[in-house]
Amino acid sequence: PTREEIAYFGAGPASLPTPVIETASAAIVNYQSSGLGILEQSHRSSSSAEIITTATSHLASLINLPSDGSYSIIFMQGGGTGQFAATAYNMLAYKAGLLLKAHNNNISIVKSKLAEMKADYLVTGSWSKKAAAELGSIAGKKFLNVAASSTDFSIPPEDAWKLTEKEKELYAYYCDNETIDGVEFPGFPAALEGRDVVVDMSSNVLSRQFDPTKYAIIFAGAQKNVGPAGVTIVVVRSDVLQNQPDADTLRELGLPVPPIVFHYPTIVKAGSLYNTLPIFDVFICREVMAGLVLKGGLAAQEQVANRKAKLLYDALDAGEGVFEIVPKKGVRSRMNICFRLKGGEDAEKRFLKGAEAKGLTGLKGHRSVGGMRISNYNSIPLEAAEKLAGYINDFVKTEK
Ligand code: PLP
């Protein structure tokens, strides 16, 4: 089939807009008539600098980032998983730095203070669970407080969260959209207001408006809504970068020392070019973001995303006898729509086969939870969502 004949609903890497792929293909052969392809250019060339600068400014404008230097944007490698580690390393070092400042660099006082402190993780699905485990493995379980935990495709109500008191909290962590489980926070959790919050937006970033100033760190692997696998977007509040103790002091405090590629102050200082950055990946992100800016930014994208999600959920709800939507209402993800077929495996096979025949692909759920999953990322056009909703309606008729 041609690209036009396929609507791909896979969970990531996601499909990319065809015009971006075409521009990128030409750039691989000969970038800006330089006689060299973009993959062959130095990450320190002026053309690479231009790509990083414009990608950064598009992102800043899309998310309304303050321009007063209170936040930095960096591009990193290591994926979302790398950030499970990077966020833990940097937040621990940041808090240790603050304590050292407050206690005249007295190591034993700071050590005893740290011994009472915890990072609060909201475990609402597979990815936040992995992030919490990573903190435990890097720094020790003593620093981990699982403040809320759900294993049934829901988000526990805020009044049931067991958050550490603010003064003793290292940071609070949550995953805005659980890609595998299909649950998404409807908005910023009120209970985390005024705390140092780390958020994983890997699978819903740039799909709705949000206030970046509520966060200490925002990260997102690019490969769902922004670009290809291989680059991760990180937005970090500037004070997190300041006063991080050096490696010897961290060791004295019994804290882990971040590998240099995960040390935000180093990467920010180097403008994301401490080591070789995959510029081609950043280029694709830049092109995707430029398209979003032209189409009216996140306000417009949010409307489209909501409309597509509603179409699909409505179709599934209408086919209640055939389908069962997995996540609880109110926390259903607009990005990853998880459902099962009441007719079991045979019905699933029929559903997938019929979809495939219509060019609707990538609908199988994650192996760990089974069922079906429609990933409704930004690159899915409204027409593709309409086509899939139409197929869902038709399928219900044939199953009855
Ligand atoms: N966080 C979320 C929400 C994800 O969906 C994923 C991957 O799908 C990850 C983290 C891990 O990202 P990576 O595979 O880039 O390490």
Q: Is the pTM of this model over 0.90?
A: yes
**C-beta of residue 218 within 8 angstroms of C-beta of residue 60:** no
User: Distance between CA atoms of 11 and 377, rounded to whole angstroms?
Assistant: 8
Q: How many CB atoms lie within 10 A of CB 304?
A: 18
One digit per residue, the tens of pLDDT, for the chain of length 400 reads: 999 999 999 999 999 999 999 999 999 999 999 999 999 999 999 999 999 999 999 999 999 999 999 999 999 999 999 999 999 999 999 999 999 999 999 999 999 999 999 999 999 999 999 999 999 999 999 999 999 999 889 999 999 999 999 999 999 999 999 999 999 999 999 999 999 999 999 999 999 999 999 999 999 999 999 999 999 999 999 999 998 999 999 999 999 999 999 999 999 999 999 999 999 999 999 999 999 999 999 999 999 999 999 999 999 999 999 999 999 899 999 999 999 999 999 999 999 999 999 999 999 998 888 899 999 999 999 999 999 999 999 999 999 7
In the chain, where the domains are located: 29-292, 297-399
Please give the number of the atom of ligand 1 that sits closest to the Cα of 180: 5
For ligand 1, atom 9, the nearest C-alpha belongs to: 80
For ligand 1, atom 11, the nearest C-alpha belongs to: 80
**202 alpha carbon to ligand 1 midpoint, in Å?**
6
Superfamily, domain 297-399: Aspartate Aminotransferase, domain 1 (3.90.1150.10)
At the topology level of CATH, where does 29-292 sit? Answer: Aspartate Aminotransferase; domain 2 (3.40.640)
What is the model's pLDDT at position 353?
97
What is the model's pLDDT at position 369?
86
Cβ contacts of 271 within 8 Å, gap of 6 or more: 52
- Ligand 1 is surrounded, with C-beta below 6 A, by 12, 79-81, 127, 175, 179, 200, 202-203, 221
Question: Phi, psi at residue 42, to the nearest 5°?
Answer: -65, 140
Cis check for the bond before 13: say yes or no (omega within 30 of 0). yes
Pocket test residue of 121, 199, 201, 202 for ligand 1, highest count of atoms within 8 A of CB: 202
Which amino acid type is present at position 363? L
User: Distance between CA atoms of 287 and 283, rounded to whole angstroms?
Assistant: 6
List the one residue out of 240, 243, 231 whose CA is nearest residue 264: 240
Instruction: Enter the ipTM.
Output: 0.99
